Structure formats: C-alpha cells, structure tokens
Structure 1
C-alpha cells in the first residue's frame, strides 16, 4: 500500500508541474491622448483574406499590417527578406499566419522570427478516427504529421517509415497508425517507427459476460468467506481479485474463499504474488533462477485451488513497475527502452515460470500478465521475445488474458498519453488487436487524497466508460481497488460499514447496467 501511494503521489506531483502560460494579448489601448494610435490604426491597410496566395496575388497584408511579397524565390516582409528562405514557390496567408512552400513541396510557418516546418494548413487538423487510405489521399495524426502511401510504400512527412511495401490500406484508428499488406496481414506502427503484426483494430470484440463487475480484496481480511459472499452479492459483483504467495497461511485463507465462492457463482481471480526478488531481497541472478521460483510458487497455488473451480490466475503484480524493472517511474512505458535491460530476464523468467507452473497443474486455466500506465513497450517486448536493448530471439511470454492497472493519475485508458504529455491512444484497442486475448482492468480508482464525493463521481463516470466499451474492446472485467482499505483512502467500506457516497455510486451503477 505504501509503495502504491508513493508511486501515485510521484506521478501526481509530476502532473501538477505543468504550468499554462498566458500568451498574446497586448495591454495597451488603441487610443492615447494625442490620437496617434487611432490614426495609425485607420491608416493601416486591411488584412488580406484568409487563403490568399502569391501567386496569384502580388502581395499579402497580414493582421499587423505588414506587407509580404515574393521576389526571386525569396519571401520579403515590408521589403526585408524574412529569415532564411529560398526556392519558394508559394506564399500563403491562412488563419492569420504566413506560410511558404518550397519548390520541394514542404510547407513552413512564420513564427515572428523564423520558419517552422509544418503541413499545408489547408489540409485541416487531425484526421477523423477511422480515416483510411484509400479512399483518403492523406492522414494527419495527432502530432500534425502527414501520412501518405505512394506505390505501396508508406511515407510520414515525405520520409519512409520502416520497411513497407505492397501496402493496400493505411488506417488512422484509436490514436495509432495501422497498415495492411496485399496479403491481408495488419501491422501497427510503434513509437520508435517500427511495425508489429496485429489484427484489424476495427473489429469489435465482446468478452464473455458474467464477471464484468469486480472488486479487489485481501486474503487477511477479518470478514469470513460467507460474509464476503453476502457483501459481494449486495454490491452486484461477480468477480473478486485476491493475491497470495505459496505461503501455507495465505494459501489456506484463499482456498477457503474459493470454496465459498464456487457455489455462489462468484469468479475468483487469484494473483500469484511472486516477484523478481529472491528471499534475500535481491534480484534473481538469472532467468532460470527466476523461472524456477515462479514455477514452484504457481504449482503450489494452483494445486491448492484447482478443486474449488479457480481457473483464472494473474502471474505477478506490477512487475514492470518495480525499482528493478522501470528506469524512470514517470515514463509511460510505451517504449521498450523505458525498462531495465539487465534485470529484464529475471522478470521474464518469473512470468514464464508462473504461467508454466499453473498450466502444468491446470492445463485449461487462463493466465494473465499485468501491466501499468501505458506499458505497451514492455508488453510488446515480452510477447515477441525482445530485450529493451532491441535484441531478439529470447523466450516469448504468451498470456491468455491481458491485465492492466488504470488509476486516474495514469490517464484515461481509452486515450492514455505518452510519458504524461504525448498524444493519447486507445490502449485496450491496441491490446485487442496486438495480442488477441481478453482484457481485464484488475485495479482502478482515483487517488487516495480525493474526497469521498469526488470518488463517487469518479466511480460513476469511469464505470460508464468501461461499460460502454465492454462489447467492443474485449473487456472481460473491471475490478475496483479496493473493497476495504482499513480507512477511507481507497475502500468502499470499513469493517462492514459502507462508505458513502462511493458505495452507493458503485451499487447504483451496477444495478442500473446489467452485465449481459
């Protein structure tokens, strides 16, 4: 709990560091005692119409009254060459800004002192979601970059992106660029410009109904298993997440929960809480050592629970967000290089060991791997057997369920940003297309410092987003963190007493929106 609070607090502090600075807007009056300002304003030439170009016009007057001309392939402002420019084919006045286009086709905008490369502003802003080439002739992404396809090759701002050929479709969807080859295979563009194989992201996929509403708990609650069944039934929850190791005391407590939940029809997702550290608190010295420990722990857990209908396991908790695995906690995790290359094998080994341990006992059980923030860089590298340094050919980690943690400070999971400031993308859509397995949000909440009124409002609005996406994004369950935190920082009750309005907000939404 303390580690989570420190981590969330660190990200919250980062988010609060952004400062908006006022710009533009002079404070002076258009008149003064002598009336000179009024006379100057009256004498100033009227600005040219937006969209005016040279040629065919011979000059352009901007909003400040300056006159722009084109002579000998260079742009002049009031008769003085404006910055460094040459071989100019076109000058454009659009939306109050002066642009020029070089003979090679590149556009530039004037910022008052120099020229900045940009797109033709007449093309418009970010393309609508779902724009595809063909039939469109270009796509503009959230960064303003323009994408085109020429002779089956993809170009971004006039330069090729990776190695592409025989491209039959280029797609802008969910904040990402995708393409399809003539053979029908889809690929998604990564943050570093590579292409990874995937499915068509537009295909709506619905997860199996029946366990959508869930909540987290702990094995050492004072509630009896029977009391928990009544509490969960009262909340309308059909799934419950609890963590344990192979410690006999923990396993015995979780086994009692499983035994009570099975006849009540409540799905138990068991987190196997094995990490990257050995019994002495040191990172495992090899992938094989981590694998063996994960295998041992998972076999013990699965053997203890298989008789009680437990078929869903989460193999590790926030392993990509340990001091040993993430280089900078403020990174969103969209790039593999965000992670510790040296300790990567220990994490991969522990994950593989837990999956294999469960499968050796329960071959039909489903195993999930857990990620945080926007850790698709880690997920992709694990899925494809890559190291953060870009080397390949390593063991692949393949899971049956993608699980994610999405606290408010991380951002909207359907439009989650890159490193806190980059353009957002739809993370569940990415995972649906990339890995092709169900998606579970195993922890979600706002921050511990929020008021109960704020938490209630957040519960209602967030459940609304999750519920709306459940039929299209392959979202099997969303599990609130946590049932009882021992205080009012996260939980919806304390010692069996409901904390309102959060409890009422949750139960009201569930009762009004069927899991069907």
Structure 2
C-alpha cells in the first residue's frame, strides 16, 4: 500500500471558472539553449526589479529581484537569454511577490531557483481565511493548496467531485477542515487528498460549547505514591487543582489504594477520574484470541473497579490508556493517526471490543457514570472508525462505539492540539473543534507536558503558554478539564514536585496561572 505521506502531485482539472491544481513536484534542471542575439540584446541585467503583478504579455520582459531578466519566446521561457528549464506552450508569465510563474498547457508553475514546480494560479492567493464560505467566496484554498468550488450544489476539489455530494447549500473552511451543509445536515471531509473519501456527520463547528465548570485544572498521579490520601488532597489543593487522574487495574492492592484516595477526595469535594487499565493483551502479554474474549475480560475488570469505587463518589472512568498507540494497534508509531488506515486492521476488533467491554462493565454497575475513551497525537482516524463502526481497511457495518467524554493526550512533541499535524508534519487542524462537532460530548486533555529532557525554565514557560491556550478555548471548544502529567515522577523529567517539595519554576508557573485565571 502506498503510504499517505507519499503525496500525489499534479492534480489538475477545471472546476467552475477557475483553473485548479494543487502544488506538487516536477520541473527541470534549468539548463537550456540560447534564444539568439535578438533576445540576448534585450535582456541585459538591470538593477530595478519589475513591479509585483507584471505579466508577459503585455510586458516584453520581467526583471526579478536578483536582476535576472525573463522573456517569453516561441512558447518557451528564457532567463538571461538561456532556456529556463524545459518549457513549451507557455502563454503567460507572471512576477508576483518576487516569484516568477508561468502558465503552460493550462497548468501554472513556479520557479524554485533551479526548475519549475506545479502550483496554483498565484493571483488566487494563498490559504483562505478561517471561516471562508461558498457561496460568498468563489473558491476556498486549503492548507495543501487544493482549491474547492461549489457548482450546482456539488463540491469539487481541484475540479474533481469529492465523495457523493448534492444539494449542498454551504461549504465552510474552518479550523483547518472543509465542512458542508447539505439538505439540512452538516458533514466534515475526512481527507481532501482522497476524492472518494467519506463525508462524516457532524454539527456546525462554529457553534461554541461550554462544559460544566469546576474541574478544569487537574493533575495526574499514581496509586502507589508514598503520599497519604490526606497529603494528596493538600498537595492538589495547594496547586489550585480540583481534579486528579489515577490508573487502576483489577489487582486488589491497586483497588484498595485507589479506594482510599477516593474516600479522601469525596470528603474534600475533589473530582477523581479513574483510568481503568484494561487492554488488548492477556496476562501473558499476548493479544486476545478474539474479540469476544477481549470483551469479557475487559468487562470483568471494569465491573470490579467500578463496584469498588462507586460508593465513594467516583463518576468518571477513562476506559483504557492510549489503546490506539499499542504495538498491536498502530501500524507505525510515527503516523499521526488522522486516517483510519494508520491502524492495525487485524487487531482492530479486539481493541474495539476491549473498549466496549470496559464501557459496558462500568455501565452495568453505574448506569449514570460517565465513560471516556482516550486517544493520542491526531488519532481522529481511530476515533471516527470506532464511532462509525468501521475497520481501518474502510469496511463498515460493525458495532458502533459511543462514549460520554472524549479524552486526549497532547505532549509537546505532538504539536499544538489546536493546529495538530494531520500527517505528522503536514497541514494542521483544530482537533478539539473537530471532536466537538463530530462527537458532541465534553473534551478533556488527560495528559499534557513537554519532553522529559527540558529545563525547568522551558517547562515553566510551556506550562504558562499551554494553560493560556487551553483556558482561552475552554468555553468555545467544550474543554472540561486539562490534567498535567504528572504530580511526582520521582525526578525532574515530568513531575511538578519531588517528595512533596515543589520544583520551583514549573510549580510556580502552574500555581500562578491557576490563581490568576479562575475556573468559572
């Protein structure tokens, strides 16, 4: 299978009244032959560059910012009297913002210093402003350079229809994604590079959503800390946090430890989010033999954990930890996860039913409890496949999965969650906006931090910056909680304190921000 990072270049077609083509590779080495003395005499170097917007024709030549002179003769482009790459059938040259372009055989190209590369008509502009709509605008240019048009209720990208659309009344560019409303229903595009890609049901992404306040500031911890539950309460309150995330398996020692924490938190009025550490492997580390076995095993774990914690005020359970980022579930850890094909098709039923087992196990004990499902990086491909009952190979008809809260992990290396790379280093999109419109449930960032090798000063600045971004978006993006990882890692790698003593700069940055920005 060709991986999605190997982009297909040269997508050129006609849609509406505009020439459409996404940027790609191509060109020549810039060598060529002379155009004769008439041209040579006309292109002596000059010191004054042509005005941006100069075109041949009607102009006879273009002088670029380096003083090189460009001419057009016999359908070929010349630079300082020598052919600039292999060009033919050229009918137009443009000089815009210090760049040289030509249009040959219906396609635009730009000069990169040694050859020509495909591009859009530069007069169309760059990426459209967020919130651009069709109609109102004549076209939308996305972050890949692809051009979207709307003709007679049908959506086109680079002149080709995208999926099956009809009766479309509005196309929207918002948060790095293409959305549309057709016959009264909103949809979002999965992958603009795949012209047969799905349009998935959603709501208008521009609508603000605000979750219940009271647990926005949170922190992670572990069941086996040497802190007593009373000390934990004191430390968490000292940071200004009101929520705490801790993991638990069906091991009775772990359950006993988490029960004691839950008792102390209930008395202190703090929220405890319990991560149920189920998974896709058995006690020997082998992937479950089938999805039924996986379902029953994980259901039993969740029932045991929920039964023990229900009496002590625990109402939120995260069903699995980074399930989509296991050796058995992701095809390559470098993949961003924005497409379902990034994940292991063979083991997908086991993973889906492991999560379903945990959700059903909790609900069988606590019907009103909230169950969250956790994702990483840009794993909307996994979330969508679970939500729609799809396999990574694109086949459907499987049992759909529903959760009450969408949870995400966002470390510095993953990128800005509000502009997360859809293809590793590729064009970014606003992930919380996508989740808000797609799943319609509150959003939590249950782990966030920078890398373990960063200095205290870097970490402090990162905390202030990230909290500022999260806080500003909490009322529009349905963000219920952001939980720093971690309270105490035993060293300076991730923790905000060691043995109860604050790590000065990160701790002060966190505490100061919370004090200045109340959760209300």
Same fold (TM over 0.5): yes
Alignment of 1:277-296 (within 5 A): 277-296=281-300
Alpha-carbon distance in structure 2 between the residues aligned to 1:85 and 1:440:
54
Please state how far the C-alpha of 1:478 moved relative to its aligned partner. Answer: 0.4
| Distance (Å, rounded) in 1 between the aligned partners of 2:160 and 2:87 | 22
- Mapped pair 1:187 → 2:184: no
1:216 aligns with: 220
Relative distance call for 1:44 and 1:290 in structure 2 (3 A) is same
| Pair 1:377 & 2:377 matched | no
Cα displacement string for residues 31-84 of structure 1 (whole angstroms, at most 9, x for unaligned residues): xxxxxxxxx99864854322122333344444543341254x555556666545
Deviation at 1:430, TM superposition (A): 0.8
The one of 438, 454, 459 aligned to 2:458: 454
Kept after mapping to 2: 8 A contact 1:432/1:439: yes
Using the TM superposition, give the Cα deviation of residue 165 of structure 1 relative to its aligned residue in structure 2, in angstroms.
Answer: 1.8
Instruction: State the alpha-carbon separation in 2 of the partners of residues 253 and 49 from structure 1.
Output: 73
Q: Which of the numbers 476, 487, 496 marks the counterpart of 1:483?
A: 487
Structure 2 residue 141 is matched with structure 1 residue 137: no
Q: 2:27 corresponds to which residue?
A: none
Q: Select which of 343, 362, 367 maps to 2:366.
A: 362
Separation (CA, whole Å) in 1 of partners of 2:283 and 2:298 = 12
Matched with 2:511 is 507
- Listed one character per residue, the Cα deviations across residues 346-388 of structure 1 (whole Å, up to 9, x for unaligned) are 1111100000111111111110010111111111111111111
- Separation in 2, partners of 1:459, 1:66: 52
Q: Are 2:446 and 1:442 equivalent residues in the alignment?
A: yes
Residue of structure 2 in register with 1:57 after alignment = 59
Q: Secondary structure at the match of 1:501?
A: helix
Mean Cα deviation higher: 450-459 or 271-280: 450-459
CA RMSD of aligned residues (A): 2.1
Partner of 1:197: 201
SS at match of 1:201: coil
Contact map agreement 1:70 1:91 (CA 8 A) in 2: no
Mapping of residues 307-386 of structure 1, within 5 Å: 307-386=311-390
Kindly state the Cα deviation for residue 164 of structure 1 after the two structures are TM-superposed: 1.8
What TM-score results when the alignment is normalised by the length of structure 2? 0.87
SS in 2 for 1:389: coil
Within a 5 Å distance, the mapping from 1:50-199 to structure 2 comes to 50-63=52-65, 64-71=67-74, 74-75=76-77, 82-102=84-104, 104=106, 106-112=107-113, 114-190=115-191, 192=194, 193-199=197-203
Matches within 5 A, 1:18-29: none
The answer to whether the Cα contact below 8 Å between 1:404 and 1:443 also exists between their aligned partners in 2 is yes
Comparing 110-119 with 74-83, greater Cα deviation is found at 74-83
Q: Does 1:229 align with 2:230?
A: no
- Residues in 2 aligned to 1:53 and 1:80: alpha-carbon distance in whole angstroms: 19
Q: 2:300 matched to 1:301?
A: no
1:270 aligns with 2:271: no
Q: Deviations over 1:65-120 (max 9, x none)?
A: 3341254x55555666654545444322222333223464x322234554322111
In the aligned structure 2, how far is the partner of 1:364 from the partner of 1:298?
15
Distance 2:114 2:476 in 1: 48
Q: Please, which moves more after superposition, 83-92 or 330-339?
A: 83-92
Contact map agreement 1:94 1:121 (CA 8 A) in 2: yes
SS of aligned partner of 2:429: coil
Indicate conservation of the 8 Å contact 1:69/1:77, yes or no: no
Partner residue, 1:10: none
Matched position secondary structure for 1:229: helix
Structure 2 residues without counterparts, runs of 5 or longer = 1-41
Structure 1, 313-322 or 166-175: larger mean CA deviation = 166-175
Q: Which runs of 5+ in 1 are unaligned?
A: 1-39
CA drift at 1:266: 0.5
Task: Give me the whole-angstrom Cα distance separating, in 2, the residues matched to 1:313 and 1:388.
Answer: 26
With structure 1 as the length reference, what TM-score do the two structures score?
Answer: 0.87
Q: CA deviation at 1:438?
A: 0.5
